[in-house]
Amino acid sequence: MKTNSVFYRLFQEFPSIFFELIGKSSEAANVYQFSSVEIKQTALRIDGTFLPTQTDDNPIYFVEVQFQADREIYSRLFAEICLYLRQN
């Protein structure tokens, strides 16, 4: 796992610094545990994309068709879109 070792060590040893940087009380660190989390990539597939053939202010449209209730549709869709944008 690759981490930014300087910041990892800093936040590991002094977690209150993070909370001070975001404008919170340093005591807020007492209810958190800091760690570096590895995220494994799973297979994600977008139902469809409309990619513009001309890039003059034409957006990309992402299509997700849903025929049943899915409480995780938005989190999954945003994960798929973000991964697509990162790779392309």
pLDDT in tens, 43-76: 778 888 888 888 788 889 898 888 899 999 999 8
Per residue in 6-36, pLDDT (tens digit) is 888 888 899 899 999 999 899 888 988 888 7
* Cα separation values, 15 from 37, 47, 63, 73, 75, Å: 16, 41, 41, 33, 28
Q: Where are the alpha helices (DSSP H) in 1-88?
A: 5-13, 16-21, 73-87
Q: Three-class SS of residue 30?
A: helix
pTM over 0.75: no
Closest CA to 45 of 33, 57, 62: 62
